Structure 1
Amino acid sequence: MYLYTDQTYNEVDFSHKDLREGELRGCTFTKCRFRGTRMEEVLTSGSQFIDCDFSGAALNASTHERSAFTNCRFQSANLFVAKFQECKMVGSDFTEANLDGITILRGDWSYTSLRLVQLSKQQLRGVRFVEADLYDAKLDKADLRDADLTRAHLAKARLQGADLRGAVLDGVDFKSFDIKGARLDTAQAIAFARSYGAKVD
């Protein structure tokens, strides 16, 4: 168990180190490498990670509160049952990451790469996914109420049974994904109908 408070790190290589069960409060990491690092059960609070590389890192059961991970790489990272509360994840890449059991409470996930991710039945209410890449993402029965999906890439995404009421869907291509069984509000239903050429008075 360790505690780092208000520390700043620039281009430090933490790859393959054992950083389990620690706390990072108010710390800033810029262009640091955490490739293959063991970070199970880590807590970050109010910390910033800018252009950092977490490829292959183990972040199982980690908790992140009001932290920022901007333009970070999480390729093949293990985020099993990790929790992100009001975090800023803008521009980060989660290609082939394990997000099973993840908890996302609000926050900004705009411009992230979430291709092929498994987010079925997740509570994603109010999360910002502006221009996020959700190609072929599994969002079945997810709660996306009041989420911002402006211009999100949803081609082949599975949204069967998802709750989209109140979500912002401006610029979304309704023809590129299946929303059979999804719950829509009136404005969304009209936009959906118009995308298929219907005239709605």
Structure 2
Amino acid sequence: MSDPGSRVGVMASTVTTADWDSGVGERRAHEGVAFVDLDLCETSLQGVEFTDCTFRNARFNCAELSDVAFINCTFTGCNFFDATFTGCKLTGSVFERCEFELLTVDGGDWSFASLRRAELGGATFTGVRMREADLTGVRCAGGTLRGADLSGALLESADLSRCDLRGSDLSALDPARTQIRRAVITPDQAVTIALALGLEIRD
């Protein structure tokens, strides 16, 4: 158990890899748990729900997660190398100092999630709902954000150069505050960006 006086908002319990392997990992729901140094490399998770949990230095390398929910969770120093999230829900979750190289996200809901200054250039997000997500300062040069609902997302100082943005909602994008050089977009999206720049479009 955690020391009740160690920090504000202490978790209900602390779980390590040994705890997970000895039975905790079989539970379908976890609430208020601190997962420390958890090794989930090459693990398959489906239909599990985590609420108000923290993950510190957890490893999700090559893990496959399907229909897993992380509601209002915090990830600090975690590694998602080559992990796959399919139809997962991460609403309100916060990522700090995490690694996302070769991460694949297919569908799901990441609305209100915070990925401030995250390195997403090697990640692929497809068909993901990211409404009002905090993407301030993200570095997604050469990455993929296709068919994403980015309405209301915070994109100030984000680097989306060479990023594949086709089919994504770019209504919240301010070209003057976001790097978009050589980003790949559709004609309809080009009109949206032109209007954001104050241009008048005529035949």
TM-score range (shorter-chain normalised) is: 0.7 to 0.9
Who is 1:93 aligned against? 94
Shift of 1:39: 2.7
Shift of 1:16: 6.1
- Give the TM-score, by structure 1 length: 0.84
Greater CA deviation, 66-75 or 166-175? 166-175
Root-mean-square deviation (CA, aligned residues, Å) is 2.4
Gaps of 5+ in 2: 1-10
Contact 1:27–1:48, Cα closer than 8 Å, also in 2: yes
How much identity, in percent, do the aligned residues show?
Answer: 32
Contact 2:55–2:75, Cα closer than 8 Å, also in 1: yes
CA distance in 2, matches of 1:82, 1:23: 21
More strand by share: 2
The answer to whether 1:102 aligns with 2:95 is no
The answer to whether 1:53 aligns with 2:54 is yes
CA distance in 1, matches of 2:193, 2:95: 29
Q: Secondary structure at the match of 1:194?
A: helix
Contact 1:93–1:114, Cα closer than 8 Å, also in 2: yes
CA distance in 2, matches of 1:39, 1:163: 30
Who is 2:112 aligned against? 111
Contact 2:100–2:122, Cα closer than 8 Å, also in 1: no
Who is 1:144 aligned against? 145
Letter in 2 for 1:171: A
The C-alpha deviation readout for 1:74-120, integer Å capped at 9, x for no partner, is 11112222221110011111111111221211211111111222222
Contact 1:23–1:44, Cα closer than 8 Å, also in 2: no
Instruction: State how many pairs are aligned.
Output: 192
- Give the TM-score, by structure 2 length: 0.83
Shift of 1:193: 1.6
Who is 1:63 aligned against? 64
Greater CA deviation, 45-54 or 167-176? 167-176
Equivalences for residues 9-24 of structure 1 within 5 A: 11-15=12-16, 17=18, 19=20, 24=25
CA distance in 2, matches of 1:75, 1:98: 10
Who is 2:198 aligned against? 197
Shift of 1:47: 0.7
Shift of 1:18: 5.8
Letter in 2 for 1:54: F
The C-alpha deviation readout for 1:118-164, integer Å capped at 9, x for no partner, is 22253322111111111221222323221111111112212112222
